[in-house]
Amino acid sequence: MKNLIIYLLLYISFSACGQVDCNKLQSNFKSYSEAENKIKKTKFTLSESVNTSKSSWIRGAYYYSCDKKFGFFIIKTDKQNYIHKDLPISVWNGFKNANSFGSYYDRNIKHRYQLYLTK
């Protein structure tokens, strides 16, 4: 039993290793790949994804938030990944519950909540 507890403590320590607190995550990035890598290595209060297999062109959708009010939204498509910043959780919840992910994305997210890159 004692070994099991030690193993669990070590596992928890190593699994959190390398993660950045979400409140310390920078807000400006030089590239989408830099942004996506740093977002995925950050420990957020809320991390969710939705099964997008019913979509004809959306291959994945992920939401990351520090405060459960606003967050990063990453959408994977056949062509590329898109990252949206400061997306309200209400919009994320609407996306998750939409009959058509693509239509909801086009009407409520596309060209809004954009992540602008620094030069």
Token representation of residue 116: 């602008």
pLDDT value at residue 63: 97
How many other CB atoms sit within 10 Å of the CB of residue 4? 8
Instruction: Identify the band that residue 16 occupies on the pLDDT scale cut at 50, 70 and 90.
Output: very low
pLDDT value at residue 18: 54
Give the pTM.
0.80
pLDDT value at residue 10: 47
Q: Which residue has the higher pLDDT, 52 or 118?
A: 52
Query: C-alpha distances in angstroms, 40 versus 8, 23, 72, 87, 107?
Result: 23, 14, 10, 16, 26
pLDDT value at residue 54: 93
pLDDT value at residue 112: 93
74-110 per-position pLDDT tens digit: 999 999 999 999 999 999 999 999 999 999 999 999 9
Q: Which residues have a Cβ under 8 Å from the Cβ of 25 and sit 6 or more positions away?
A: 38, 39, 42, 66
18-53 per-position pLDDT tens digit: 567 787 888 788 988 899 999 989 999 999 999 999
